[in-house]
Structure 1
């Protein structure tokens, strides 16, 4: 089921996670209880996309307004590298996902933390069958190290796998999430990371917390559109949308080659600004004019600068309990992140997001982060859009939103509609778009995996991308 309608809905990239989230709602939990349950299950069954070794962001729309929490990790204080390679031990930053669970537990949940974590504990301890997405990630990943090969190397679709040490850690976290950062768990993790070359100290964990952030906002037609601020690339999505509106290419048919070509040029311009200006705001504040119409019009008279983009591996989901709307995204960055594993936990390679200039590697700094979430609203209507897509996320968010706002598609049609992407100097497009470009499959994960949710009045539509093994479920 790619879409579900009701007052309580859930849509994720994995059918087990969707089922678990729906059961939590059905048993009386709220959207935040369900979010922790889904997040934990995804951490077990899709360990190449996300997990306790990675980051998380949440966007909340409730009767109290809009809240956002950035739980992306910082680099170790002893980081000395001037350049970081893709799978370098220096690419591991302190993971923030568990702190995001703590934030929800302390502020929003209704259940004892063990209840939403119980399904993930069971899956990790007792085992689960490997799905298509994990199978594909295993066979296409490099042979990282003996730990990786022992855990995943010979596993294929339909094989049974257990992650007992991860199950044990999840059980300890259910008693107190800060154990992951300040207790015996963190000490074991830090020692395990240090033996594999990560320059981390226990203080890097114990002093880490995520933070509430204020979203960026633009006006697009009659919508208010929100995205996460730096250190994320949410600003890039808003620049693309604003330039699309200013250039009026949204008046052309969606499969018009002129629209596609100009959309690509606009994306190049926005990514150029991303690479120049976006960094950890504690180290650098980008110019305030980056969303000004005059500045963007001036940019559109210049030539675009090619950039190198990577599709990444992430997982995003949406939940509503009828009162609260949640968009939740978590990631390791590349498939299986750094490839470094400690106690069945796969650790991120987010430090590869550091580059030159304002985003250069420094201790206790967060790299430019590809994760973000789009929220749009008008009148009595909300949209939450998120995806797996790495560097491509701004293009994916903007294209799906444009399908909805400019081409009169319902949200499930907008998610399903054919997409194109500018990737590493070329345009790729799903075959059904019917344009001259590098062709991908009719439904291809190369153009991102989107989950989305729409509220109209008191009714919700949740959508799972048919490009994945996810489902959307209603709860009655």
Structure 2
């Protein structure tokens, strides 16, 4: 097992990693984590627990995800790691020309244009059918109960709900957005912290998904409601788009980092950014975590990886370069040679020549799952299908309007996707799932968590609590206000444009569960930057 020093690192503050043996669920909302644990105690496995937790998160953290979003998962079971891509495609009828004809030179954030086919219900149904032990309807019951009976809004949730409401009140004035306000601001405002909020429509939708194993969502009454709403309000989404949706089982991709295999979902996800950065960084030896040189090299590696991803990564069927070439040792060495003593302006290389929620779950049988789902940018598109609680995502906002770009908008195509689950193994045995949510912070968080664990021996909670940095663009890097100022000043002397941020949510929110291969003991950590918890027994 990884060797952790629980005493000598200051980052754990008063929090400690959580230990358990029979099962563990870690996520950003206590009610959701407890729901997953409840399913484990009822005889479900880690996959059932993950589905229950994910469904609850659509209810108890709607500021970050919903039924109308996408999902990805890495599942360890029976000695093998499986990858699930449940991201939806753009509607067939949409195109760059259609967007321009609608009066837009860029893809808007809200409304129908950025809406893609939701993948979340398909992910739940497929995971349940392939690996679950309990009926999907039973697994969704805790979420249905919270939606129907209500729950008190937690502090971090209340803060971001109110922030979203204030923005939407100013920007979303068209009648098509009325149903968002009816659903998420029924009293003419966001619910207050501690106030009970419920959604009967959300409960009924979850019930139908459970009873029909998501068939209603893609080919039944729920699909009809979504398609009808789109047709009546100028949307591009059709019944045909929904009926043709299929989740995809994919082969996870990896790099070996100091003897540990770090796994991600292949493109269209951006997990390849984390792997490219680690592939560059493995050529160095880091003796000290909190040093200017360590942070400088981390930042430079991330910049180079992002430059490639933002040039080449899209739906894998449309990529012009291979994943293998981007992750090759030869290309990693080529990119590493570009890192000098001064901050660089990143550019893509030529490999041919050389708001989200995350959860981790584990059970006593050895099953483990790394799962992530999102509506993107908080509540997503601002569109809610009347009477259903289905808040539709705006994932299509990431498409490019440049017809020559790899990620150019096309009907029936998946876009570059920010949400990524992570998993670690060693010698073909599972170490465990990890993830850090938060847009383009995610691969940066993955790199920092992996290095905190492997290079610097931090336990899961300390690895998550450690102050973070985030590359923004060009030479601009944001750091948390807890980041050591003398190191920030040292980075500035190397040419980095350092900005101190007072907003903790800008740096992602993560969870980790590791398993001791000898004893089976589970050790977990959860994000101190949100309302998260680790439920264990």
> Normalized against structure 1, the TM-score is what?
0.94
Partner of 1:373: 421
Partner of 2:288: 253
**Quick one: distance in 2 between partners of 1:255 and 1:196?**
53
Q: Does 1:92 align with 2:107?
A: no
374-383 or 324-333, larger mean C-alpha shift: 374-383
Deviation beyond 6 Å, 4+ runs, structure 1: none
Larger radius of gyration: 2
**Count of aligned pairs:** 467
Q: Secondary structure at the match of 1:463?
A: strand
**Quick one: distance in 1 between partners of 2:347 and 2:64?**
27
- Mapping 1:89-128, distance limit 5 Å: 89-128=112-151
Following TM superposition, by how much is the alpha carbon of 1:278 offset from its aligned partner in structure 2, in angstroms? 0.5
**Quick one: distance in 2 between partners of 1:3 and 1:103?**
32
Following TM superposition, by how much is the alpha carbon of 1:285 offset from its aligned partner in structure 2, in angstroms? 4.6
Q: Secondary structure at the match of 2:410?
A: coil
Q: Answer whether contact 1:81 1:90 (CA < 8 A) is retained.
A: no
**Quick one: distance in 2 between partners of 1:179 and 1:146?**
24
356-365 or 147-156, larger mean C-alpha shift: 147-156
**Quick one: distance in 2 between partners of 1:98 and 1:122?**
18
294-303 or 406-415, larger mean C-alpha shift: 294-303
Following TM superposition, by how much is the alpha carbon of 1:306 offset from its aligned partner in structure 2, in angstroms? 7.7
Q: Does 1:341 align with 2:384?
A: yes
- Mapping 1:202-217, distance limit 5 Å: 202-217=239-254
Q: Does 1:28 align with 2:43?
A: yes
Partner of 1:304: 345
Unaligned runs of 5+ in 1: 308-312
Residue 358 (structure 1) aligned to one of 403, 406, 419 = 406
Q: Answer whether contact 2:17 2:460 (CA < 8 A) is retained.
A: no
Q: Secondary structure at the match of 1:121?
A: helix
Q: Answer whether contact 1:3 1:473 (CA < 8 A) is retained.
A: no
Distance 1:14 1:224, change over 3 A: same
Following TM superposition, by how much is the alpha carbon of 1:304 offset from its aligned partner in structure 2, in angstroms? 3.2
- Mapping 1:199-238, distance limit 5 Å: 199-238=236-275
Partner of 2:57: 42
> Normalized against structure 2, the TM-score is what?
0.83
Following TM superposition, by how much is the alpha carbon of 1:351 offset from its aligned partner in structure 2, in angstroms? 0.2
Q: Does 1:240 align with 2:277?
A: yes
Q: Answer whether contact 2:314 2:406 (CA < 8 A) is retained.
A: yes
Could you give the per-residue CA deviations for residues 109-138 of structure 1, whole angstroms, max 9, x where no partner exists?
121222111111111112222222332222
**Quick one: distance in 2 between partners of 1:264 and 1:273?**
15
Unaligned runs of 5+ in 2: 1-14, 98-105, 339-343, 349-354, 489-497
Q: Secondary structure at the match of 1:133?
A: helix
Distance 1:456 1:340, change over 3 A: same
Following TM superposition, by how much is the alpha carbon of 1:252 offset from its aligned partner in structure 2, in angstroms? 4.3
Distance 1:381 1:216, change over 3 A: closer
Partner of 1:450: 510
C-alpha RMSD over aligned residues: 1.8
